[in-house]
Amino acid sequence: MDMNIAVIRGDGIGPEIVNEAIKVVNKVCEKYNHNINYTDVLMGGASIDVHGTSLTDEAIATCKASDAVLMGSIGGDPNTSPWYKIDPKDRPEAGLLKIRKALNLFANLRPAVLFPQLADACPLKKEMADKGFDMLIMRELTGGLYFGERKTIEENGEKKAIDSLTYSESEIRRIAIKAFEVARARRSKVISVDKANVLDSSRLWRAVTNEVAKDYPDVTLEHMLVDNCAMQLVKDPTQFDVILTENMFGDILSDEASMVTGSIGMLASASMNDTKFGLYEPSHGSAPDIAGLNIANPLATILSAAMMLRFSFDLGKEADDIEAAINKVLDEGYRTGDIYVDGLKKVTCSEMGDLVAERI
């Protein structure tokens, strides 16, 4: 297979972790005789340094012409970086919102998996951590409160801020279909999370999701209020398979889910449109405090690359091989600093990439 992949190395530790992911992808594609063409794209602070803005139209065009995008991390320290002294519309994180909209990346898939080798790092009770869990949060990414109309006005002598939360039937339907399709390939259970006891948008969300569910009789659908879901994630995460939810709820719940795994450095993510096209990135940030030190954990980015092979190229065996290699490295006791405990083998970012690639 021939693959055209746009590569956004980004800021902070982004270039380091992306290099290790590419190393592993190259190894598995060499094994299965796939050809890859990589095209570098600037985004975030790296783009500001060159172009004065976090994402150019040319960068978007390059991404659109590719089969998939592999990305590192975007942004710097807001307290010290000059990137945060320019117009907000040009700052690093603005590029993320812009590329999601431009590429119609409405579906964010964020797995939260507790690797058995890392059970001791899980903050939950031991009896719960020992069970392990494997869930996927399907977050709507281009609608809702983050993209609604917003303004600040003065009324009766005081300032008043207004943010609009809106969803259409079609926006809800397309993300629900994605969730049910993914659930079919997992354990066939969708829990749709909303606030239907208060919000009209959530009541529409629930109604449309119920309609979509009729086309998937083999998939179980449950509804859960967002506050209850937040509690259940720390009470018993094993009950979840696919969590379907809107933009802001998904933002908050996916961060909570990442913490119960014990390390955000192990969490991949994908943002997809209604084709096979997707943008793949780790769930963590750019960690500017450790950039260039070769101590970052590249496993989340490597796992994101495995998701890319699985979802954008239908290369399930290749993705399985990468995930198996990671498990083998963890079984052998190798750890980067963020997941290291006494008695194991501490390795650098590049050494971890080498170890995974060697076990493909």
Separation CA 360–CA 60 (nearest Å): 33
Separation CA 330–CA 251 (nearest Å): 29
Is the Cβ–Cβ distance between 322 and 306 less than 8 Å?
yes
Q: Which one from 90, 255, 320, 354 is the annotated catalytic residue?
A: 255
Is 146 in the active site? Answer: yes
Separation CA 66–CA 70 (nearest Å): 10
Is 227 in the active site? Answer: yes
Tally the residues of the chain.
Answer: 360
Is 241 in the active site? Answer: no
Neighbours of 238 (CB within 10 A): 12
55 torsion bin: left (phi>0), alpha (psi -120 to 50), beta (else): beta
Q: Which one from 23, 101, 195, 328 is the annotated catalytic residue?
A: 195
Is the Cβ–Cβ distance between 136 and 121 less than 8 Å?
no
Q: Which one from 67, 251, 321, 338 is the annotated catalytic residue?
A: 251
Separation CA 107–CA 121 (nearest Å): 29
Separation CA 90–CA 113 (nearest Å): 34
Q: Which residues pair with 46 in a beta bridge?
A: none
DSSP secondary structure string for all residues of 154-200: EETTEEEEEE-----HHHHHHHHHHHHHHHHTTTSEEEEEE-TTT-H
**Pick from 154, 233, 216, 205: which is nearest to 180 by CA?**
216
Separation CA 171–CA 106 (nearest Å): 8
Helix (H, G, I), strand (E, B) or coil at 347: coil
Q: Which one from 227, 274, 314, 331 is the annotated catalytic residue?
A: 227
Separation CA 260–CA 249 (nearest Å): 17
Is 163 in the active site? Answer: no
- Sign, CA dihedral 282-111-335-319, equals negative
Catalytic site positions: 146, 195, 227, 251, 255
